[in-house]
Chain A
Amino acid sequence: MTDVTLTKKDFTSDQEVRWCPGCGDYSVLSTMQAFLPELGIPRENIVFISGIGCSSRFPYYLNTFGMHSIHGRAPAIASGLAISRPDLTVFVITGDGDALSIGGNHLIHALRRNVELKILLFNNRIYGLTKGQYSPASEQGKVTKSTPYGSLDTPFNPVSLAIGAEATFVARTIDSDRKHLTEVLRQAAAHKGSALIEIYQNCPIFNDGAFDQVKDNETKEGSLLQMIHGEPIKSSTFGVIRDGAALKLVELSTIDESQLVIHDAHASDPSYAFALSRLSGSSLEHTPIGIFRDVERPGYSAMVNDQVTSIIDSAGAGDLEKLLNSGDTWVVD
């Protein structure tokens, strides 16, 4: 813990922020800068590592340690750092192209290992930095520069993907909802292993309004299925009930609210969180928001370092001379 209390200003670097006017990245940055002092972690022990894409400029604007790396590889670099330096708090900043397309492999493996990384996936469902091609999160039929007749690919649901990859903490939030985003960051920071946070983020240039359904005042209350641990999962009009082993959406007016599923973020069976993640489609009409899954499993870096420590404790520290002289040796006089 620090001896002085830090403020948002302490976490703001001297670099001029260069995202497009109106970009959702601004509010995420501002929320992060305001949130970091709350962690009570000295600036020098925090590292932001990003890949390539608009959101990956993020580390430049935070007065912590930071690395703007190469496309898709941030989780790999961050894993090496986190494993060799368990004393650090490591964030990964990535986007839907960076994390789900070119870097998909690193994302799923970091999650399955449960490396102590807080991964912020800025999902704007488009390639922004390369000026407007469809992404692996774009809805099917998307007309973009590279798909003038509409995209044919089925998109990834990043939350389903993360749960399938054995993630221990998976959440979804929205760029403009500071309060919600802050709360999700808080929970993620308290989590011991990997945390994946999908942030719906508006790209005003190439995919403007993609998330209006869950942002506009007229539609958001009816679209966002709030997931709060210990409380029923519902929007203003719809709720979630069990249907055998599956989950189902129902209009609140047609049921008794006591039938609603009470959210259990700590459920050990991932099929529950997975079922929640499947309630939303590309249309966003019914979008679960909040923490899908938050379960305990030993962090990878902790296990790696514990293994080394326990071997040294039981066998003693390595002796180079002994090592070189091991096996069959002979003396020449």
Chain B
Amino acid sequence: MKKDQNKNLPIDATDRVASGGLLSRRLFLNSAVATTAALATTRAAYGQEIVGEGQEDWTLYPGSDALEYGERSRFEAERVKKFVPPITEANQAFYDLRTTNASSLTPHQHLMGTITPSGLHFSVTHHGVPDIDPDKHAVVIHGMVKNPLKFDINALENYPTITREYFLECSGNSGVLWGETARDVQLDRMHGLVSGSQWTGIKLSTLLDECGVSPDAKWIIAEGADSGSLSRSIPIDKALKDSMIAIAQNGERLMPQQGYPMRLFNPGFEGNTSIKWLRSLYVSDKPVMSRFETSRYTDRMPDGKALQFSLEIDVKSMITRPSNAMSLPKHGLYEVTGLAWSGRGKIAKVEVSVDGGKTWAEAALEGPVHSIMLTRFRIPWMWDGGSAILQSRATDEFGRVQPAREKLIAARGRRPSYHFHGIQSWGVDTEGKIKHVYA
């Protein structure tokens, strides 16, 4: 039997901002909503008993010592990344063979705020994670430059750094949504190839200035030191605008999975262009047409052509709670929250619908809103126990609106594999179970 868990909420008609129970985003700011049950004070007079009677052990006994590097509570051990493909007994041997091409997915259903902890940042590797000795690693900048230069991590650390919050997304994120049927995959398997971090590095333009770049330069070919020497061509205008060589993530040096000791970071571009374990930047007047910009990471269109250098991440959003990693135990008041991002700039607006897109209400954005960074949105929702379809729709500062899935497919077909950014739907049934649906 379901109960209304917030019977006494003072909600009037003006709080209802769209059908299906969506409430004004201002409602949670109202102190009347933040009802706190009065704590029952049932302490009896214990007489001769010790005063700690009834306390938990961790209150009664001294805890463990400090650690050189902190770790999470053992009760959080299951809040980790999943792998692509899922490892099963049947494919274990095969997986062992191809661990060099592994993806791990950020579990957004467990996360709050907008910064992804470094250890939960998604990672895609095509040739495994190299174990680089920073004393033997350096990046060279060469080609159409006056002075080819070499920088190791100690040299880079001497430069004035910039620190920015940026999201990073693999262009394959949400790719399952190109499919014809709505596959039953959880939030992290669907949208786990996007994360947000604070990145610290040296602006690439600073180093390029020291090298003296030819005015005829049009591209920079970046190569990594992994066992595939992964490479991509970066347009020179991007490199001079806001690319950086990142040396730290969330305040500490990069993790090996994120490119230790140095990686290229191209804000707002598809993830694989931000070459990890960076060791060469060749300034050129033409792209190199590497494997990863021809046979991979090109988007097939319905007319048989494929888009190449589809580099910028489009405006996009996802609802992380409620999502299909959980269910709604009883009807009543919930918060619909999620993340929105755009590779071009700031998120200007996120709208939420609980009736499959018939009506929309504007969600509150949790500030400060950073350019090219995850932005959290939230809106209260009074679930009446009926079936519902939850959707979110983001708009960026340039007025680009996240498209409906069917409109995206109408324009680009079903074959692109990459850059899915349409609206995604969570279907809620009368039992409170949540499923990925096409709506």
Are both chains from one complex?
no
